Amino acid sequence: MKIFGKKQKKQEHSLIDDDLSNSELLPSHIAIIMDGNGRWAKKRALPRIAGHHEGMKTVRKIARFADHIGIKVLTLYAFSTENWKRPKSEVDYLMGLPEKFLNSFLPELMERNIRVTMMGNKEGLPKHTQAVLNNAMEKTKNNTGLILNFAMNYGSRAEIVQAMKEIINEVNSGNLAIEDINEFKVNQYLMTSHLPEPDLLIRTSGEVRLSNFMLWQLAYTEFWFTDTLWPDFNESTFSEAITAYQNRNRRYGGLKGEE
């Protein structure tokens, strides 16, 4: 397997790097709704799983680039709680992708100091999928570079409901007073409690909706949508999204930068 060294990575992306001139405005956390694998395959008269296989290659490519330019967290919406409704053959293939991806990519993740994390209901995944995720998270837990966070069997509404149940239990047990419940406290019970909120959300394939993804966390996130199908998404498209983010005025409800 090809492992990129620091010098080669710089040569590989030097032209794109020049476009990210506002490096001080680089988003810390980027979340991506990876969409369009099936349509990519259909356009080529291929089975849907071929699109998912190609999309896996894009995950590797974008993780490398995010690490290279200094992104702190990259969250990828890999499998939603609604995706179980898809045909069993497709679901089975998707449940095998983490093994194909992580087993082959793990040496490079270690080389690049990338840490793998996951958000979602892990217990609801097949045992073999859980095993490969647990292995990758354990092997990379001490890495201090990019956090590559996979949303697997994840749904934002279920996440919020679970957080509310835990808060209610804390109140009923006398460990938390109702008057102490605020946004900060709710954040502590979400699956992203260890992460900063996303600065930039990207969705591919031309769809313009959140699809039950990080509804609480995206309150002040900048959105960027592209018609590009996920398997065709590349470093240049990623750079375009980041440049658009850097040119926006994030006011958080205030009047920053305006009279």
Query: Could you tell me which residues are annotated as the binding site?
Result: 35-40, 48, 52, 80-82, 84, 86, 203, 209-211, 222
Per 3-state DSSP, the chain is made up of helix, strand and coil in percentages (nearest 5) of 50, 15, 35
pLDDT of residue 112: 98
Contact 78, 71 (CB under 8 A): no
Domain that holds residue 80: 26-155+195-246
Which tens digit of pLDDT belongs to each residue from 154-203? 999 999 999 999 999 999 999 999 999 999 999 999 999 999 999 999 99
C-alpha–C-alpha distance, residues 199 and 22, integer Å: 15
Q: Is residue 101 part of a domain?
A: yes
User: Is residue 238 one of the residues assigned to a domain?
Assistant: yes
Query: 204: closest CA among 229, 222, 234?
Result: 229
Active site residue 35: yes
Residue 91 lies in a domain: yes
Instruction: Determine whether 172 is an active site residue.
Output: no
Give me the CATH number covering residue 62. Answer: 3.40.1180.10
Binding residues for Mg(2+): 35, 222
* Selected catalytic residue, list 83, 135, 143, 212: 83
Domain membership of residue 51 (yes or no) is yes
Catalytic residue (one of 17, 19, 35, 199): 35
Residue 167 lies in a domain: no
Nearest to 221 by CA among 193, 238, 198: 198
> Count of domains in the chain?
1
Where does 112-175 have alpha helices with state H? Answer: 127-140, 156-172
Residue 143 lies in a domain: yes
Phi, psi angle pair for 112, to nearest 5°: -90, 0
Which residues does 94 contact at the CB level (< 8 Å), separation at least 6?
52, 79, 83, 86
Determine, yes or no, domain membership for 168. Answer: no
In the structure encoding, which two tokens stand for residue 60, read together? 């590797």
Question: The whole model's pTM is what?
Answer: 0.90
What is the signed CA dihedral for 232, 235, 237, 240, rounded to 10 degrees? 180
**Would you say residue 99 lies in a domain?**
yes
Encode pLDDT of 34-81 as tens digits: 999 999 999 999 999 999 999 999 999 999 999 999 999 999 999 999
Task: Note the helical H segments in the chain.
Answer: 6-19, 37-43, 48-69, 88-111, 127-140, 156-172, 183-188, 235-246
Which residues share a beta bridge with 29? 73
